[in-house]
Amino acid sequence: MSRNPQEQPLLSDSFQEEEERQETAYESSEKIVVVGIDESDSEENWGRVPPFSWKKLWLFTGPGFLMSIAFLDPGNLEGDLQAGAIAGYSLLWLLMWATAMGLLIQLLSARLGVATGKHLAELCREEYPAWARIVLWVMAELALIGSDIQEVIGSAIAIRILSRGVVPLWAGVVITALDCFIFLFLENYGVRALEAFFAVLIGLMAISFAWMFGEAKPSGKELLLGILIPKLSSRTIQQAVGVVGCLIMPHNVFLHSALVQSRQVDRSKKGRVHEAINYYSIESTLALVVSFIINIFVTTVFAKGFYGSELANSIGLANAGQYLEETYGGGLFPILYIWGIGLLAAGQSSTITGTYAGQFIMGGFLNLRLKKWTRALITRSCAIIPTMIVALLFDSTEESLDVLNGWLNVLQSVQIPFALIPLLYLVSKEQIMGTFKIGSVLKIASWLVAALVIVINGYLLTEFFSSEVNGLLFGAVVSVITAAYVAFVLYLIWRAITILPWQSITRVKTVVHSES
């Protein structure tokens, strides 16, 4: 027997009533209206998914490529070059599977945003008690600031490379800070203009690093074997952990659930929601395939030039350009400048998306009804001020920048559970997702991926603190903070695994009682 769509709403009435009163990712006038070959809205077609349309895929394309920039930021590029220099081609398989795990997490984030019409930060504000959502908000902001420092410093290094050292690091930070005005300018021309700008930056990265790949001429056979045959040794375990850890960015999980709301989707019709999820899945997959190829370019160039050499353990973002020039020479267009252009595109694109993510995180957790330019300036200030301080303190040596990057990687790692666990909890909850909650198989796979990522980052933290923590007082402080951290993570897990089963049982009892 067919079911009327009104009998099974995708969202609870309370969500629908509050939707108009709360801060939203995009105003109705900003959203892109998707049209295609089948726009029949008759009641009998409410659950049917319209046939595939290339025109619709094009209109849905955009959010996934903005999301993919987090897989190409300066922190990832540094992880790529160090993995290639120290481990050669042997970790390419791990890069591929880490990208696949990241894709799974991002698809769940997109699913949450499409099915609910709200992004992760908004739903966390509604689902968790006040004290817990404040902690989640603080952690999300810290993760964003940490990633933004890496991205801004990466851009500043690129500017210093392209200026042959004339522009110091602190001045490059100031120049990079101005990207906020580019962002605000492009927002005035709509979502598609912003997406086109990022497409240009991704294309610039692809061309630059592909050019480097062509100049270096890495071994195609070694590349293929590195992707297909898993290899891992005690000597490369740290680089392996870094490859996985730097691909899963906490702020990116929040960002993607908001970006997908830039398209107008009629969530009262099940078929339209399914359609949107399908198109977003396709374009997100294509975007991460592109990012994977770019990451391969970087890893293999440094594997060809530096694997097994004395320089392998000393390469970082700050000196990579110099070493590339010494190894591969000048050529028609010096490889130093090619690297600088690609790094600048990566840094600028990731800092702008960081500003974008900061808007959604702040607005969602605090329900701020501020103008977007106001929130952008606040978010930019929160990142630029500490970055300026860092640039002044760490501009002295390349070694100090490497130390800074290590601490920032730790900051990113500790924040990952505070994005992944709420995401998996919410996307499994029927009261929020309706018929679009994830099934048992996908739920088990997602929790296994989350557990693996958390364990890997836990290993990174343990290794880092065992080498960096010295002194009784410092050790005691770290122990207290660690205990509080673990307690909160366990609370999030406990809430996810205990509330969901009871909600399902309550729903079954309600249905049985109503039928009797």
Q: Which residue has the higher pLDDT, 257 or 170?
A: 257
**Alpha-carbon dihedral 437, 443, 445, 449, rounded to 10 degrees:** 90
Q: Is residue 493 part of a domain?
A: no
With a cut of 50, say whether residue 5 has pLDDT above it. Answer: no
The radius of gyration of the chain from alpha carbons, rounded to an integer in Å, stands at 23
Which of 285, 199, 262, 203 is CA-nearest to residue 59?
262
Distance CA 364, CA 141 (A): 12
Query: Can you give the pLDDT at residue 108?
Result: 95
With a cut of 80, say whether residue 379 has pLDDT above it. Answer: no
Read off the pLDDT of each residue in 248-256 and give the average, rounded to a whole number.
89
With a cut of 90, say whether residue 113 has pLDDT above it. Answer: yes
Query: Can you give the pLDDT at residue 13?
Result: 47
Tell me what the pLDDT averaged over the chain comes to: 81
Contacts of 400-408 with CB under 8 Å at 24 or more apart are: 401/153, 401/157, 401/316, 401/317, 401/318, 402/316, 402/318, 404/149, 404/153, 405/75, 405/78, 405/150, 405/316, 405/317, 406/464, 406/468, 408/75, 408/146, 408/147, 408/149, 408/150
Confidence band of 412 (pLDDT split at 50, 70, 90): confident
- What's the start-to-end Cα distance of the chain, in Å? 19
Query: Can you give the pLDDT at residue 250?
Result: 86
**HSE (side-chain half, CA atoms, 13 Å) at 147:** 36
Which of 339, 77, 161 is CA-nearest to residue 169?
161
Query: Can you give the pLDDT at residue 285?
Result: 96
Query: Can you give the pLDDT at residue 481?
Result: 81
CATH number where 387 lies:
1.10.4160.10
With a cut of 80, say whether residue 492 has pLDDT above it. Answer: yes
With a cut of 50, say whether residue 122 has pLDDT above it. Answer: yes
| Residue pointed to by tokens 């897989």 | 71
| Residue pointed to by tokens 């019709």 | 269
Q: Report in angstroms the alpha-carbon separations of 107 from 345, 358, 374, 409, 417.
A: 25, 20, 30, 24, 17
With a cut of 90, say whether residue 114 has pLDDT above it. Answer: yes
**HSE (side-chain half, CA atoms, 13 Å) at 97:** 14
Question: Which segments of 264-329 does DSSP mark as H helices, in order?
Answer: 270-306, 317-328
Query: Can you give the pLDDT at residue 400?
Result: 67
Stretch among 45-54, 189-198, 337-346 having the lowest mean pLDDT? 45-54
Read off the pLDDT of each residue in 451-479 and give the average, rounded to a whole number.
74
Buried b (16+ CB within 10 A) or exposed e, 339-378: bbbbbbbbbbbbbbbbbbbbbbbbbbbbeeeeebeebbbe
Q: Is residue 156 part of a domain?
A: yes
With a cut of 60, say whether residue 254 has pLDDT above it. Answer: yes
Query: Can you give the pLDDT at residue 506?
Result: 44
Q: ∠136-105-459 over CA atoms, to 5°?
A: 70
Q: Which residue has the higher pLDDT, 229 or 411?
A: 229
Query: Can you give the pLDDT at residue 515?
Result: 42
With a cut of 50, say whether residue 407 has pLDDT above it. Answer: yes
Q: Which two tokens stand for residue 200?
A: 């240009």
| DSSP H or E stretch at residue 32 | strand 32-33
Read off the pLDDT of each residue in 287-313 and give the average, rounded to a whole number.
91
Read off the pLDDT of each residue in 74-90 and give the average, rounded to a whole number.
89
Q: At what angle do helices 130-162 and 250-259 cross, to 10 degrees?
A: 100
Query: Can you give the pLDDT at residue 424?
Result: 94
Q: Is residue 154 part of a domain?
A: yes
Q: Which domain holds residue 88?
A: 51-414
Query: Can you give the pLDDT at residue 319?
Result: 85
Q: ∠134-139-143 over CA atoms, to 5°?
A: 150
Query: Can you give the pLDDT at residue 372?
Result: 67
Confidence band of 255 (pLDDT split at 50, 70, 90): very high
Residue 37 dihedral angles phi and psi, to the nearest 5°: -85, -15
Stretch among 121-125, 192-196, 244-248, 365-369 having the lowest mean pLDDT? 244-248
Query: Can you give the pLDDT at residue 100?
Result: 93
Q: Is residue 433 part of a domain?
A: no
Q: Is residue 281 part of a domain?
A: yes
Q: Structural domain tally of the chain?
A: 1
Query: Can you give the pLDDT at residue 110?
Result: 95
Q: Is residue 68 part of a domain?
A: yes
Distance CA 88, CA 86 (A): 6
The residue type at 67: M
Query: Can you give the pLDDT at residue 394?
Result: 65
154 within 8 A of 317, measured Cβ to Cβ: yes
Q: Which residue has the higher pLDDT, 11 or 226?
A: 226
Q: Is residue 255 part of a domain?
A: yes
With a cut of 80, say whether residue 21 has pLDDT above it. Answer: no
With a cut of 70, say whether residue 499 has pLDDT above it. Answer: no
Q: Is residue 470 part of a domain?
A: no
